[in-house]
Amino acid sequence: MPKDQRVDPKILSSEIVFEGKIWDIARESFEYNGGTLVREFVKHPGAVAVLAVDEQQRVLLIRQYRHPVRSYLWEIPAGLLDVPGEDRLDAAKRELMEETGYVAERWTKLTDFMTTPGGNDEVITIFLAEGVAHEGHDLELEGEEVDMIKEWFPLSEALASVLASDIQSPSAVVAIMAASHKLGVKAQG
């Protein structure tokens, strides 16, 4: 069975060449295969994402504007690991509540994935949330979250949308495919 393998090359130098609001750009020089390489990459705090599934096997998706790709994307609730010391599951519960007003009785880790390993060290942990209930919240949403739309879709339809490239947000794609496999759901249509 194939399995990714962690490698820790000797780092010769490391510096932050750009400091951003959410992430930084690092430049590192390291020993590799008898030589020295230099690479720049995005240093990211990491994130969590949540696929909420109800008793009818519908998934809760949010439509949110993403400026770099100039598109409204159907996504799953997600957020940065930006609270020092916060456990990933606690972060997922917080993000589900903040973005949707929902809570869940049962939580299962679906998977971890690297978003863009050739240029970014971000790892996202995706959780499956079941036994969901709407509690609401009185949080003031900002930026692109202000006009976010929340909608429930049958998991089979969401999977068909992923396979047709109609849903392209990486965390949604990975979560919908992983949950469909786990729950034995096939694409509708």
Query: At 166, which amino acid appears?
Result: D
Which is catalytic among the residues 28, 98, 145, 157?
Answer: 145
Q: Where are the domains of the chain?
A: 11-43, 47-183
Could you tell me the pLDDT band of residue 6, with boundaries at 50, 70 and 90?
Answer: very high
More confident residue, 140 or 52: 52
Of 47, 96, 103, 105, which Cα lies nearest the Cα of 76?
96
Class of domain 47-183: alpha beta
Residue 165 in tokens: 């490239």
Q: Would you call 140 a catalytic residue per the annotation?
A: no
CA-based nearest residue to 150, from 48, 57, 54, 64: 64
Average pLDDT, integer, range 17-44: 95
Band of the pLDDT at 185, cuts 50, 70, 90?
confident
From 73-82, 118-127, 145-154, the region with the lowest mean pLDDT: 145-154
* pTM for this prediction: 0.91
- pLDDT category at 22 given cuts 50, 70, 90 is confident
Q: What is the mean pLDDT of residues 111-118?
A: 95
**Cα 76 from Cα 60, distance rounded (Å):** 7
Indicate the average pLDDT of the chain: 93
Read off the pLDDT of each residue in 70-83 and give the average, rounded to a whole number. 94
Whose CA is closest to 131, among 112, 153, 166, 107? 107
Strand partners, 26: 16, 41
Q: What's the confidence (pLDDT) of residue 51?
A: 98
Tell me, what's the pLDDT at 137?
Answer: 76
| pLDDT tier for residue 140 given thresholds of 50, 70 and 90 | confident
For β-strands 123-134 and 102-114, DSSP reports them as antiparallel
The β-bridge relationship of strands 35-43 and 71-75 is: unpaired
pLDDT of residue 55: 95
Residues 27-42: what's their mean pLDDT?
96
Does the pLDDT value for residue 142 go beyond 70? Answer: no
Mean pLDDT score, 35-49: 96
Ramachandran angles phi, psi of 139, nearest 5°? -75, 145
pLDDT band per the 50, 70, 90 thresholds, residue 114: very high
pLDDT band at 189 (very low <50, low <70, confident <90, very high): low
